[in-house]
Amino acid sequence: MGLMKAVDKFEYRRGYKFSTYATWWIRQAITRAIADQARTIRIPVHMIETINKLIRVSRSLVQEMGREPTCEEIAKKMDLSISKVRKIIKIAQEPISLETPIGEEEDSHLGDFIEDKFIPSPPDTVININLREQIEEALKSLTEREAKVLKMRFGLGDGNEHTLEEVGQQFKVTRERIRQIEAKALRKLKHPSRSRRLKSFTDDI
């Protein structure tokens, strides 16, 4: 539903990327679904949105004042009563188990919807795989030695970058010779017929 909402609301003339726009609507749809469907979570949708707003306001005040804001300061910023702010904070602080079932069939849990910062997201994983494939294709236009030099210099194989000296020792040539090979290989990759393979990945860098 979130994706369909994004498609319906998206306006390309504003210059935003659809992926960024869609992500916001999908996240909102998930948030609403969790609140609507989880039998053991008693927080209504509007309260979840109010909690999120309170968090944003609190962060803003911390940046302004350099300290944690008081309930009075938050209440003034949100144009709410102090008792209302305290009630919101109390609700937000109530512990919720990550094993809380989500959905009518209860085959998913709340923890499934919480992002793990140490695990790449599915879109990032797909992009990284595609990028590696495009790099491999681009390197095929080089000689075997040129490709290996670039892989060692930029850590394209094992993720470890090597110095000119280290690569030179591997090929039994001087560091200056490796620098020349590297420069020549990079010039080849900059040719439009090859660089366009990677252009879509570098546009956002």
Q: At 4, which amino acid appears?
A: M
Q: Which CATH number describes the domain made up of 122-202?
A: 1.10.10.10
The rounded Cα 154 to chain-centroid distance in angstroms is 23
When comparing pLDDT for 178 and 137, which is higher? 178
The boundaries of every CATH 1.10.10.10 domain in the chain are 2-113, 122-202
Q: What six digits make up the tokens of 70?
A: 């008081």
**Is this model's pTM higher than 0.75 or not?**
no
Could you give phi then psi for residue 114, rounded to 5 degrees?
-95, 125
Q: At the top level of CATH, which class does the domain 2-113 belong to?
A: mainly alpha
Which parts of 11-107 are beta strand (E)? Answer: 101-102
Q: Are strands 101-102 and 108-109 parallel, antiparallel or unpaired?
A: antiparallel
Q: Stretch 167-191: mean pLDDT, rounded? A: 89
pLDDT one-digit tens code per residue, 8-26: 444 444 444 444 445 555 5
pLDDT one-digit tens code per residue, 46-102: 777 788 888 888 888 888 887 788 889 999 999 999 988 888 887 776 655 555 555
pLDDT band at 39; cut points 50, 70, 90: very low
pLDDT one-digit tens code per residue, 94-148: 655 555 555 555 566 655 655 555 555 555 555 556 666 777 777 888 899 998 9
